[in-house]
Amino acid sequence: MLTLKVINEDREEVIRKLAKKRFAAEDIINQIVALDETRRSSQTLLDSQLSEINLLSKSIGGLMKEGKKAEAEIAKQQVSELKELSKLNEAGLRETEAAIQNLLVIIPNLPHDSVPEGKSAEDNLVERSGGNIPQLSTDALPHWELAKKYDLIDFEWGVKITGAGFPVYKAKGSRLQRALINFFLDNARDAGFVEIQPPYVVNAASGFATGQLPDKEGQMYHVGLDDLYLIPTAEVPVTNLYRDVILDEKDLPVKNTAYSACFRREAGSYGKDVRGLNRLHQFDKVEIVCIDKPENSYQRLDEMVCYVQTLVEKLGLPWRILRLCGGDMGFTSALTFDFEVYSAAQQRWLEVSSVSNFESYQANRLKCRYRNEDRKTQLCHTLNGSALALPRIVAALLENNQTPEGIIIPAALVPYTGFAVID
């Protein structure tokens, strides 16, 4: 959430930057500025009223001691009237503050200066790429056919017991899932991330703090009886560990990793691009989360991007990194890099990770701060990334490594799978 300080310091710059995200901000920003002026005036008046009440209240005892009962009664009446006025003013002040808050939460984060202009995914910029795209035979199969051929994943079972988008993994398919999870977690640990095992459901306060609510409420599964939400990513519970927390500067950066199942309604997702594992309602993912000082956060972002690159390289997958344009960025992000791997049988790129810096946007909603050497507190910067999401990684591994003898497992994964070939 943007701070009033950022908006008041240069509203025109805020409006200009938000336009890069295709967000028309002028009317909302002007409303906020006007409401903030009202808030300041109300606060000044309230402070004056409370000060006058305090002075009058102190004078009453003295007047009574001096025998000036009539004057004391007048002072009491003035105090009573001022208290009523201050209550009305305070109620109005709280209403104004709530109105400001309601507007602030619908404004996305400001994009970093390096975010390119653009309306959609077609305008994203390729930062760098690597790996070799395999040349498959003309009879190569997409992953959903390979999953059926080798009895790895049963999509029909998932439909039977739950619905579309909830596949059932089995046999070597299950072992491959577990192998990838452990492989990603072990790599994250070796890179200095501390593992967390979080709950899979969160309360509304947690969803609000990381920006899923109210922006993505329609994409989350809601447990109505208990007013809880199934997590769309481990980012939500892990980042919320630091809600209403003041960290010591010496403890920064905080680096966490977590595996979780992820749940997303993905309303309106249909067609060939969502077949098989390409888009699911439940999937597995390992997440990395960092919290650091503002001056270090973009160095931390570079490190996280480089780290995710090592994962796709170890798996031997063709990859590319995209710098997202303003029109394709997330609501809470200041700068995002997407990782894609090439799916040889489908002949297209599949997104497998987003790595983002949220600057102080999430931290302001979280009230996540740190205390420096001067004992002053300041908002932290938060970052996170997928490292990695499993479904499309599995899709690319199955498709790209198919041979007449079976599907070859990357060497880095063999110690985790316990087998080198799916046949």
Residue 241, token pair as written in the block: 């560990």
Which whole-number Å values give the CA distances from 325 to 49, 92, 119, 267, 314, in the listed order?
50, 41, 7, 23, 28
pLDDT in tens, 206-224: 999 999 998 778 899 999 9
307: left (phi over 0), alpha (psi -120 to 50) or beta: alpha
pLDDT at 324: 98
What distance in Å separates the CA atoms of residue 224 and residue 117, rounded to the nearest whole number? Answer: 40
Q: How far is CA 286 from the centre of its chain?
A: 14
pLDDT of residue 345: 96
Residue 322 CA: distances (Å) to CA of 91, 252, 405: 49, 28, 35
Q: Which residues contact 324 (CB under 8 A, 6 or more apart)?
A: 115, 124, 333, 335, 336, 337, 338
User: Residue 266: what pLDDT?
Assistant: 78
Q: Report how far residue 244's alpha carbon sits from residue 163's, in angstroms, rounded to the nearest whole number.
A: 38
**Does domain 121-422 bear CATH number 3.30.930.10?**
yes
pLDDT digits (tens, 9 = 90+) for 57-111: 999 988 988 988 899 999 999 999 999 999 999 999 999 999 999 999 999 999 9
**pLDDT of amino acid 218:** 85
> Rounded to whole angstroms, what are the CA distances from 37 to 89, 97, 114, 292, 295?
15, 11, 33, 33, 31
pLDDT score at 217: 80
Spans of all domains in the chain: 4-104, 121-422
SS3 assignment, position 389 = strand
On whether the CB atoms of residues 89 and 42 are closer than 8 A, the answer is yes
How many Å apart are CA 263 and CA 267, to the nearest integer? 12
Do 325 and 124 touch, CB atoms closer than 8 A? Answer: yes
Q: Which positions of the chain have pLDDT values less than 50?
A: none
d(CA 302, CA 224) in angstroms, rounded, equals 40
**Quick one: which of 171, 148, 172 has its CA closest to 417?**
172
Residues 6 or more apart in contact with residue 116 via CB below 8 angstroms? 123, 124, 125, 323, 325, 326
Query: What is the C-alpha to C-alpha distance for residues 128 and 111, in angstroms, rounded to an integer?
Result: 21
Q: How far apart are CA 300 and CA 293, in angstroms?
A: 10
CATH 3.90.245.10 fits 4-104, yes or no: no
When computed from its CA atoms, the radius of gyration of the chain, rounded to whole angstroms, is 28
Cα angle: 392, vertex 393, 396; to 5 degrees: 85
